């Protein structure tokens, strides 16, 4: 078990679960669900934010309704691995609005990129405009998602 999670009691864990499920819950609702006064619940939630357990509260949009209905995963292999190449790649990929996540990985390639585009008819443009010009890109392999099985998963607490 994560050592930081052991610093949390059952009420803190319940508050974190409830906030993950719906970040718009009122302090009164949270208090009622965990058996605290509204003041007690408010103080705990503020502490969870202050200590970094909660990073942000935001809306989850419907990607299809905003023209981002297709998910692609792109394996990226760099032409060589050096700290300055990693840094330049990371800086550049962070600026691409289509890119939802980018992870440096260990294995047969260097990065795994998750992006959302309107549809596959625009993929070639995205690849040529965003991914291939990134610093150090030597090779890519792309996988298009054909269905969301478990999107936006709630973290186990």
Residue 5 — pLDDT band, cuts 50, 70, 90?
A: low
Q: How far apart are CA 7 and CA 62, in angstroms?
A: 35
In 3D space, the residue among 67, 79, 155, 78 whose CA is nearest the CA of residue 119 turns out to be 67
Q: What is the pLDDT of residue 154?
A: 79
Q: Per-residue pLDDT for 151 more than 90? A: no
Whether 134 contacts 76, CB under 8 Å: yes
Q: Per-residue pLDDT for 3 more than 70? A: no
CA angle 126, 130, 132 (to 5 degrees): 100
Q: What is the pLDDT of residue 7?
A: 85
Q: Per-residue pLDDT for 1 more than 60? A: no
Q: How far apart are CA 24 and CA 152, in angstroms?
A: 16
User: What is the pLDDT averaged over residues 27-51?
Assistant: 97
User: What is the pLDDT averaged over residues 30-56?
Assistant: 97
Q: How far apart are CA 49 and CA 67, in angstroms?
A: 32
114: β partners: 73, 101
């Amino acid at each position: 078990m994560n050592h930081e999670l052991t610093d949390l009691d059952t009420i803190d864990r319940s508050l974190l679960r409830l906030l993950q499920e719906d970040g718009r819950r009122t302090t009164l609702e949270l208090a009622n669900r965990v058996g605290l006064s509204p003041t007690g619940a408010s103080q705990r939630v503020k502490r969870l934010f202050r200590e970094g357990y909660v990073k942000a509260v935001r809306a989850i949009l419907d990607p299809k309704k905003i023209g981002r209905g297709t998910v692609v995963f792109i394996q990226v292999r760099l032409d060589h691995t050096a700290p300055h190449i990693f840094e330049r790649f990371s800086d550049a990929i962070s600026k691409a609005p289509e890119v939802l996540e980018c992870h440096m990985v260990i294995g047969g390639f260097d990065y795994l990129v998750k992006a959302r585009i309107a549809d596959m008819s625009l993929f070639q443009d995205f690849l040529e405009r965003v991914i291939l010009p990134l610093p150090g890109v030597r090779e890519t392999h792309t996988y298009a998602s054909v269905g969301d099985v478990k999107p936006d998963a709630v973290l186990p607490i």
